[in-house]
């Protein structure tokens, strides 16, 4: 079986915001401005801290936290148990932020240094999240464009989710070598391991 690369490959996970990718896509521009044309395993994850969070606006930080506390992180497909019984699926999400916790956080965030700390906390917390979706590809920009265009199951799922949009996500990728250089079955094996270990709840058929 082919190796992932004949030379040492930079396996550090890199990422670009879904908002940036969507802006390029909507503008008809090539995604190669943000993504290398390589074989890769990739992940879509929630973006916890974006440009809307600024030190002088604690109310924006609180609104973001309230949204995150109930945003869906996965959904199973409907399951037909019998002719008359269909399980419409399971949604993975929080139950929202209780009002008394909102009051506690509102008071805490009112101090500028506390709001700054919370923004940094959210940004750092992101790397510990489960993924929403894991995939593999021989051409990273092309595959990302297919998601944004709604040509994939995950792309369609994001379109249907009223609480989720591409600006709520980050796109992580691990470079496996030059475009289409890595054998498909090897990419799928790495994808499978990634999906299982990161509990990607929107991924339907890993590997």
Distance of CA 93 to the CA centre of its chain: 14
Same-domain check for residues 140 and 43: yes
Query: What average pLDDT score do residues 71-77 get?
Result: 83
88 and 151 share one domain: no
Same domain, 149 and 123: no
The number of folded domains in the chain is: 2
pLDDT at 89 over 80: no
The Cβ-side half-sphere exposure at 5, using a 13 Å CA radius, reads 14
* Per-residue pLDDT tens over the stretch 118-154: 999 999 999 899 999 999 999 999 999 999 999 999 9
Radius of gyration, CA atoms only, the chain: 19
Mean pLDDT of the chain: 90
10, 108: one domain: no
- What pLDDT is recorded for position 52? 83
- Of 59, 43, 5, the C-alpha closest to 177 is 5
Q: What pLDDT shows up at residue 207?
A: 64
What angle, 0 to 180 degrees and rounded to 10, lies between the N-to-C axes of helices 99-109 and 58-68? Answer: 150
- Per residue in 14-65, pLDDT (tens digit) is 999 999 999 999 999 999 999 999 999 999 999 999 888 888 899 999 999 9
pLDDT recorded at residue 11: 58
Answer with the one of 100, 128, 156 that is the final residue of a domain: 128
Q: Residues 89-104: what's their mean pLDDT?
A: 91
User: Which backbone phi and psi does 172 adopt, to 5 degrees?
Assistant: -100, 145
Percent with pLDDT over 70 in the chain? 94
Residues 44 and 141 in one domain: yes
> Is the same domain home to 77 and 30?
no
| Res 133: pLDDT | 96
3-state secondary structure of 170: strand
Q: Write phi, then psi, for 182 (nearest 5 degrees).
A: -95, 130
**Residues 58 and 96 grouped into a single domain:** yes
Are 172 and 195 part of one and the same domain?
yes
Q: Based on the fold, state whether residues 56 and 22 are members of the same structural domain.
A: no
Predicted local confidence at residue 139, as pLDDT:
97
- From the number of C-beta atoms within 10 Å of its C-beta (0-12, 13-18, 19+), residue 47 rates as buried
Answer whether 44's CB lies under 8 Å from 73's CB.
no
**Domain region containing 109:** 51-128
Comparing 123 with 87, the larger pLDDT belongs to 123
Task: Report the residue count for the chain.
Answer: 207
């Amino acid at each position: 079986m082919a190796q992932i690369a004949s030379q040492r490959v930079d396996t550090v996970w890199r990422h670009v915001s879904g908002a940036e990718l969507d802006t390029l896509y909507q503008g008809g521009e090539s995604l190669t401005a943000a993504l290398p044309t390589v074989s890769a395993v990739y992940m879509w994850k929630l973006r916890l801290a974006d440009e809307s969070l600024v030190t002088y606006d604690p109310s924006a930080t609180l609104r973001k936290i309230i949204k995150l506390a109930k945003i869906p992180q996965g959904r199973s497909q409907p399951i037909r148990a019998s002719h008359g019984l269909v399980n419409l699926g399971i949604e993975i999400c929080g139950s929202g932020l209780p009002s008394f916790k909102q009051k506690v956080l509102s008071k805490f965030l009112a101090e500028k240094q506390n709001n700054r700390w919370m923004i940094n906390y959210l940004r750092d917390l992101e790397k510990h999240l489960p993924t929403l979706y894991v995939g593999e590809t021989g051409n990273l920009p092309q595959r990302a464009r297919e998601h944004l265009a709604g040509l994939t199951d995950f792309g369609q799922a994001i379109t249907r989710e009223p609480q989720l949009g591409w600006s709520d996500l980050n796109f992580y990728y691990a470079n496996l070598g030059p475009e289409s250089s890595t054998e498909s079955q090897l990419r799928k094996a790495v994808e499978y391991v990634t999906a299982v270990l990161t509990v990607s709840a929107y991924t339907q058929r890993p590997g």
